[in-house]
């Protein structure tokens, strides 16, 4: 062996020996000296039965470690109490630790750690200092039992039988920008009886947590509120909701965290039970931005149950058998600013036995299914919980309700929707409108205009509108509305939307207009340009005797039927600026009875003329032509002294009314011509031409007509009870031509009598021979010669109707023709005329009569076109 080789071996051997001696010495010091050093120079006492350090490999092995805090009462020191069976550290960088004061190693393993850790009291000054974090790659903990307490000795974390294997671990340089302060390549974890308290509001529990092949399974997970509902509202008045969640199992698959990115393949919650306690707090603006990115392929809820509680402790909503699936969820800083804080591809929600409770209404849904494009609800029930004069109440059962959506979103707290269809099937029950609705505008601030709906359909429904004890029953409703739009302009109207087209089809209508009438019909069809009504009835709910006792003053009692009513034209029913521009109306098969009793006191209120009544229609109204065909009209009037009511009948009645209008539609005529033909008293042809004008401020009119071949006895049932006259013979022709206005009437009358004679009768029906003889001396009817007379001017009693004035004109002409130009029948008999006319007409006029006549003539001259 050469000399240099010997020297090299000696040097190497010496170095090796030195290293061995240092290693033995270090191990002896670590075993016997380190515990005393730690005890003297730290806040902890540490004991162990074995401690081996290999300087060559950087491996450390410690066994039977016992650790404790020297002063457990010092709240500023992290408290540690417990044991660790084995501690292994691999490839510790001793040189870097000594020279750079930075610890790094490859692996850390703890076997059976049983530790109680008490967190030190937070020191803001220390927190500002940058903490040195060891570098290591892998962490493995087996069989651990750990309890972590805060400085108040409240439990923050605990877990039993903890087994954790964390590989490829790297701490991030900026923890504030990361979901957690490290990233890892692989995580295996198992633990029992896990408890974690995140803050003073919630704690989380799980009986078991496991990983298997990239899947994390959490059993019996609970999010437990640490406060009662009332305590939460008291101590956190700005927070809106308190959650209480229990779920049988939570499963995460392909769980990956990369700095600010969290990626999950699937999340599944099995049998979750959520209670959500609401408060009166308003929504707060989001002050913190969401700095992370979350990708989730699929989220599922299986067989869930949700209860939402009002601030007063009552149930707002509960739902059973809840299923939910959302796919391709993405959340980042931008999406977090929206009302829905994430984007998604599609979602599906299903459930059973949904119950919602407002303060006045209980809504129940048996089965429902909702997704991004549709909602389907089955067996819906709406039941009232309390009556409320300011709120509409529903008492309905609905077989099915469906919504089909083209697109919807929430933007800036507003709903934006473009819907294809809403369908409601078999809605049956009552709707009770608010009796005293609050006088405030509806709030549509939660809607982004325009809101669009292509089609709304209500099918096979029976609904009763029950308001103010006047129910409106509609049977077998089938209705559709198309091209519905709600925008800024329409939202200001009572009906807050517009519809392009509509079709309403009802099997029947029954409306009790209590206390006196019932309005009903058979088939009713309403479209945008036409309306059809079958078997129309407007019938009394009370008898005539009951009606007379109930009314405070004289009033007509109507009983009207119509076989069919058909209307065509254009009208707008869905805006506050209503308009009716009708083309035609046809009314067939009318049977009408009008009864009036003279027993109640007179109604002394002023009665409007028909043209004035038309002007009171508040919106533009025009109907080009109205035809009434094959009608029967009967008017009956009863007095205290009459033996049964007097009657006027008009059979085979036809009317042709043109230009019926309210005087408010530009460019349309305001003159209303009316042609009437009928069989008067079932015997005599009657023709009438009547013209009024809604533009005439004085309500000027003209009315002319003829009656042919009228057997005089036919009018006895009407004239005898009121005029005390019984007639015989025939009236071959009665012709009248009157003009007037709201002040009075004038004109001429012509009579062609054949052997006409008059008998005056007393209240018992006996003939007054003297009066009869005197009257027949003057009557020229026995000569069968045509007679005519100018009725002069007859002043209108404004407390009576138009027809009372017309009748007074006819009567005045009869009196002048049959008796004397200077003597009326009412003057001779001393009786009242129909509708309470007083006998104040005579050949000699009072000064008041002459003054009224002069004024009427001036008014007539202003409307000469109506007198032609």
Between residues 666 and 101, the one the model is more confident about:
666
**pLDDT at site 495:** 82
How many angstroms separate the CA atoms of 707 and 514, rounded? 39
Confidence tier at 833 by pLDDT (50, 70, 90) = very low
What Cα–Cα distance (Å) separates residue 344 from each residue in 251, 274, 336, 412, 437? 20, 23, 13, 18, 41
- Residue 182 has φ and ψ, to the nearest 5°, of -150, 165
The CA-based angle 500-501-503, given to 5 degrees, is: 155
**pLDDT at site 14:** 59
Mean pLDDT over 183-202 rounds to: 85
CB 596 within 8 A of CB 558: no
Q: Which residues contact 714 (CB under 8 A, 6 or more apart)?
A: 681, 682, 683, 684
* pLDDT for residue 831 is more than 60: no
How many angstroms separate the CA atoms of 739 and 154, rounded? 101
* pLDDT for residue 858 is more than 60: no
**Nearest one of 146, 144, 148, 147 to 162, comparing CA atoms:** 144
Most confident of 208-222, 572-586, 718-732, 792-806: 792-806
How many angstroms separate the CA atoms of 823 and 843, rounded? 6
**pLDDT at site 93:** 62
* pLDDT for residue 17 is more than 80: no
Read off the pLDDT of residues 361-401 as tens digits, 9 standing for 90 and up: 999 999 999 998 999 999 999 999 987 777 889 999 999 99
Q: What is the DSSP letter of 41?
A: H
CB 418 within 8 A of CB 447: no
Mean pLDDT over 145-171 rounds to: 86
Helix and strand numbers, DSSP H then E, in the chain:
12, 41
CA atoms within 13 A on the CB side of 486: 21
* pLDDT for residue 832 is more than 50: no
Mean pLDDT over 459-463 rounds to: 97
Mean pLDDT over 821-841 rounds to: 45
How far from each other are the two terminal CA atoms of the chain, in whole angstroms? 157
Between residues 18 and 600, the one the model is more confident about:
600
Least confident of 29-33, 104-108, 306-310, 559-563: 29-33
CB 663 within 8 A of CB 670: yes
Confidence tier at 543 by pLDDT (50, 70, 90) = very high
Name the β-bridge partners of 362: 357, 383
How many angstroms separate the CA atoms of 457 and 480, rounded? 4
CB 707 within 8 A of CB 734: yes
Least confident of 211-220, 235-244, 755-764, 827-836: 827-836
Q: Which residue's entry shows tokens 């869905």? A: 574
Question: What are the b/e assignments for 300-317, b being 16+ CB within 10 Å?
Answer: bbbebbbbbbbeeeeebb
How many angstroms separate the CA atoms of 578 and 621, rounded? 9
Confidence tier at 294 by pLDDT (50, 70, 90) = confident
Q: Which residues contact 310 (CB under 8 A, 6 or more apart)?
A: 278, 316
**pLDDT at site 101:** 53
**pLDDT at site 666:** 93
**Nearest one of 159, 220, 228, 167 to 194, comparing CA atoms:** 159
Q: Tokens standing for 255?
A: 């769980």
**pLDDT at site 703:** 98
The overall pTM is greater than 0.95: no
Domain boundaries, given as residue ranges, for the chain = 42-124+132-187, 198-282+289-348, 700-868
CA atoms within 13 A on the CB side of 576: 7
* pLDDT for residue 523 is more than 90: yes
Confidence tier at 123 by pLDDT (50, 70, 90) = low
How many angstroms separate the CA atoms of 291 and 178, rounded? 8
Could you give the percent of the chain with pLDDT greater than 90?
Answer: 48
Sort strands 621-638 and 646-661 into parallel, antiparallel or unpaired: antiparallel
Sort strands 346-357 and 361-371 into parallel, antiparallel or unpaired: antiparallel
**pLDDT at site 835:** 41
CB 198 within 8 A of CB 204: yes
- Residue 260 has φ and ψ, to the nearest 5°, of -90, 5
Confidence tier at 22 by pLDDT (50, 70, 90) = low
Q: Tokens standing for 696?
A: 């005439």
Mean pLDDT over 339-348 rounds to: 76
How many angstroms separate the CA atoms of 808 and 744, rounded? 10
Mean pLDDT over 3-29 rounds to: 58
**pLDDT at site 422:** 96
**pLDDT at site 228:** 94
Computed over every residue of the chain, the mean pLDDT equals: 82
* pLDDT for residue 304 is more than 70: yes
Residue 176 CB-density burial (10 A; 0-12 exposed, 13-18 middle, 19+ buried): exposed
**pLDDT at site 658:** 98
**pLDDT at site 177:** 47
Confidence tier at 312 by pLDDT (50, 70, 90) = very high
Name the β-bridge partners of 678: 686
Confidence tier at 270 by pLDDT (50, 70, 90) = very high
Residue 844: helix, strand or coil by DSSP? Answer: coil
* pLDDT for residue 853 is more than 60: no
Between residues 818 and 511, the one the model is more confident about:
511
* pLDDT for residue 92 is more than 80: no
Q: Which residues contact 579 (CB under 8 A, 6 or more apart)?
A: 570, 571, 572, 619, 620, 621, 665
Q: What is the DSSP letter of 33?
A: I
How many angstroms separate the CA atoms of 714 and 646, rounded? 11
Least confident of 316-320, 454-458, 637-641, 801-805: 637-641
* pLDDT for residue 339 is more than 70: no
Could you give the percent of the chain with pLDDT greater than 70?
Answer: 76
CB 405 within 8 A of CB 452: no
Which helix (H) or strand (E) segment is 520 a member of?
strand 517-521
Least confident of 645-659, 682-696, 806-820: 806-820
CB 568 within 8 A of CB 584: yes
3-state helix, strand, coil in the chain (%, to 5): 15, 55, 30
**pLDDT at site 147:** 93
How many angstroms separate the CA atoms of 320 and 322, rounded? 5
Confidence tier at 815 by pLDDT (50, 70, 90) = confident
Q: Tokens standing for 361?
A: 């209404």
Least confident of 393-402, 538-547, 810-819, 837-846: 837-846
């Amino acid at each position: 062996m050469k000399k240099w080789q010997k020297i090299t071996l000696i040097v190497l051997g010496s170095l090796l020996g030195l290293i061995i001696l240092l290693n033995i010495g270090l191990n002896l010091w670590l075993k016997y000296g380190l515990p005393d050093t730690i005890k003297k120079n730290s806040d902890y006492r540490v004991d162990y039965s074995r401690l081996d350090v290999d300087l060559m490999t950087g491996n450390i092995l410690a066994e039977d470690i016992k650790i404790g805090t020297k002063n457990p009462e010092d709240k500023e020191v992290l408290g540690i109490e417990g044991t660790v069976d084995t501690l292994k550290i691999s490839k510790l960088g001793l040189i870097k630790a000594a020279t750079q004061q930075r610890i790094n190693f490859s692996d850390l393993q703890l076997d059976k750690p049983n530790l109680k850790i008490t967190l030190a009291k937070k020191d803001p000054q220390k927190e500002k200092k940058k903490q040195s974090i060891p570098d290591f790659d892998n962490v493995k903990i087996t069989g651990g039992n750990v309890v972590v307490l805060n400085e108040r000795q409240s439990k923050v974390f605990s877990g039993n039988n903890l087994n954790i294997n964390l590989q490829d671990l790297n701490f991030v340089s900026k923890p504030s920008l990361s979901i957690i302060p490290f990233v890892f390549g692989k995580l295996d974890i198992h633990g029992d009886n896990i408890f974690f308290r995140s803050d003073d509001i919630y704690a989380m529990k799980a009986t078991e947590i496991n990983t298997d092949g990239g899947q994390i399974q959490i059993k019996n997970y609970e999010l437990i509120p640490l406060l009662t509902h009332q305590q939460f509202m008291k101590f956190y008045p700005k927070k809106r909701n308190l959650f209480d969640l229990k779920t049988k199992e939570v499963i995460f698959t392909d769980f990956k965290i990369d700095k600010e990115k969290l990626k999950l393949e699937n999340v599944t919650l099995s049998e979750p039970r959520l209670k959500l306690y609401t408060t009166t707090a308003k929504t707060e603006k989001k002050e913190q931005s969401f700095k992370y990115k979350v990708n989730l392929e699929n989220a599922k809820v299986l067989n869930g149950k949700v209860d939402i509680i009002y601030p007063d402790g009552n149930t707002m909503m509960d739902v059973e058998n809840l299923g939910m699936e959302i796919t391709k969820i993405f959340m980042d800083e931008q999406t977090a600013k929206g009302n829905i804080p994430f984007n998604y591809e599609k979602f599906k929600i299903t459930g059973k036995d949904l119950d919602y409770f407002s303060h006045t209404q209980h809504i129940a849904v048996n089965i429902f299914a909702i997704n991004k494009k549709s909602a389907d609800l089955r067996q819906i029930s709406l039941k009232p919980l309390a009556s409320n004069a300011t709120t509409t109440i529903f008492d309905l059962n609905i077989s099915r309700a469906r919504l089909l959506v083209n697109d919807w979103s929430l933007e800036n707290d507003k709903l934006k929707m473009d819907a294809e269809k809403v369908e409601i099937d078999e809605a049956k029950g009552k709707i009770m409108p608010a009796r005293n609705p609050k006088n405030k505008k509806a709030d549509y601030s939660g809607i982004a205009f325009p809101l669009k709906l292509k089609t709304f359909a209500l099918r096979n429904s029976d609904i009763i509108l029950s308001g103010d004890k006047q129910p409106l029953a509609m049977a077998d409703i089938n209705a559709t509305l198309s091209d519905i739009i709600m925008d800024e302009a329409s939202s200001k109207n009572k009906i807050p939307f517009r519809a392009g087209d509509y079709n309403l089809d009802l099997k029947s209508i029954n409306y009790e207009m209590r206390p006196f009438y019932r309005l009903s019909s058979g088939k009713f069809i309403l479209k945008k340009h036409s309306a059809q009504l079958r078997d129309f009835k407007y019938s009394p709910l009370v008898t005539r005797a009951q009606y007379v006792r109930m009314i405070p003053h004289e009033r007509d009692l109507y009983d009207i039927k119509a076989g069919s009513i058909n209307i065509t034209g254009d009208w707008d029913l869905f805006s506050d600026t209503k308009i009716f521009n009708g083309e035609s109306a046809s009314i067939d098969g009318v049977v009408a009875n009008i009864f009036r009793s003279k027993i109640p006191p007179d109604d002394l209120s002023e009665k409007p003329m028909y043209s004035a009544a038309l002007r009171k229609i508040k919106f533009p109204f025009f109907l080009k032509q109205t035809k009434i065909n094959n009608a029967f009209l009967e008017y009956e009037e009863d007095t205290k002294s009459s033996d049964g009511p007097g009657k006027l009948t008009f059979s085979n009645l036809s009317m042709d009314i043109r230009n019926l209008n309210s005087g408010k539609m530009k460019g349309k005529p305001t003159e209303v011509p009316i042609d009437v033909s009928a069989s008067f008293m079932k015997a005599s042809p009657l023709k009438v031409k009547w013209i009024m004008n809604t533009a005439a401020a004085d309500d000027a009119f003209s009315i002319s007509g003829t009656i042919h071949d009228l057997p005089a006895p036919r009018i006895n049932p009407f004239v005898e009870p009121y005029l005390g006259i019984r007639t015989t013979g025939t009236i071959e022709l009665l012709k009248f031509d009157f003009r007037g206005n709201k002040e009075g009437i004038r004109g001429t009358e012509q009579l062609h009598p054949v052997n006409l004679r008059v008998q005056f009768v007393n209240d018992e029906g006996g003939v007054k021979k003297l009066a009869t003889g005197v009257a027949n001396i003057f009557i020229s009817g026995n000569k069968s010669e045509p007679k005519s007379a100018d009725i002069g001017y007859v002043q209108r009693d404004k407390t009576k109707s138009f027809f009372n004035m017309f009748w007074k004109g006819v009567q005045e002409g009869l009196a002048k023709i049959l008796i004397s130009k200077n003597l009326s029948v009412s003057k001779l008999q001393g009786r009242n005329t129909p509708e309470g006319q007083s006998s104040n007409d005579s050949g000699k006029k009072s000064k008041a009569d002459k003054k009224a006549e002069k004024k009427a003539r001036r008014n007539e001259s202003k409307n000469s076109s109506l007198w032609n």
